[in-house]
Amino acid sequence: MLDDFFIRAVLAGLGIAAVAGPLGSFVVWRRMAYFGDATAHAAILGVAISLAFQVSIYAGTMLVALAMALAVSALVAREQAMDTMLGVLSHSALAIGLVAISFVPQARSDLSAYLFGDILAVGRGDLALIWAGAAGVLALLAWRWQRLLTASLNEELAMAAGIDPRVERLVLSLALAVLVALSIRVVGSLLISAMLIVPAAAARGLSRSPERMVGNATLIAALAVMGGLWASLHLDTPAGPSIITAAAAIFMVSQAFRRA
């Protein structure tokens, strides 16, 4: 019989997978991979601030991730050279976060848990927060689905239909910040963007509609969680990287079944 900690880990991973599927699809459609990196890497700075001021890790991480997401959205609106700018922001945020966390003694011993996740240490309170946050993000995406989809696929068509792409970009920024905060304990700041992109990329070649892609991406993310945790349990490998490795393996297999 499986131990309670493993069941909690599976449930936490599935909660993240439920959000990573649809949100990752939007990241792929909008070519926002670096956007995800910048927001996720800023999470380490949020961890340092949270520990320094003794507030919730989730609250501090979400606050900093949201600030980064809004900053990146503002740069997109100004049509800056995005590849270079996002690269600078992404790696600078990670470096600043690592420097900041070095000034927090209690965080040094747990640094790998924040970088790569520690899903096996998820408690009941973490689990409740993950699923509550996931439900909120899914409700937001369902409410704005048609507007988000139109703005993602064709901004000119969206404006013609009376949809402001900037508003939809902000909605995605908010959802992404929440996911980053929820995922810090599951896969860590270095692997959050992979959890978004890899399942969605695998689903893209297997799907004939946006809705099907979202469903396939969510299923692939869930399979990666269960496969990665199984490998971690039986092979004694780190859980977060094992989940992403499982997702990468599914992606490689999916390439053989891409639709023509």
Q: How many helices (H) and strands (E) does the chain have?
A: 14, 0
Question: Any idea which residue has 């899903």 for tokens?
Answer: 119
Q: Please tell me the predicted confidence (pLDDT) of residue 31.
A: 81
Task: Give domain 4-257's CATH superfamily.
Answer: ABC transporter involved in vitamin B12 uptake, BtuC (1.10.3470.10)
Q: Which residues of 210-227 are buried (b: 16+ CB within 10 A; e: fewer)?
A: beebbbbbbbbbbbbbeb
What does the alpha-carbon distance between residue 106 and residue 23 come to, in Å, rounded to a whole number?
33
The predicted model scores a pTM of 0.89
HSE-CB of 211 using CA atoms within 13 angstroms: 3
CA distance 42 to 51: 15
Structure tokens at 259: 């639709």
132-156 pLDDT per residue, tens: 999 999 999 999 999 999 988 887 8
Q: What is the CA radius of gyration of the chain?
A: 18
Give residue-wise pLDDT tens across range 64-111.
888 887 777 777 666 555 667 777 777 888 888 888 888 877 666 677
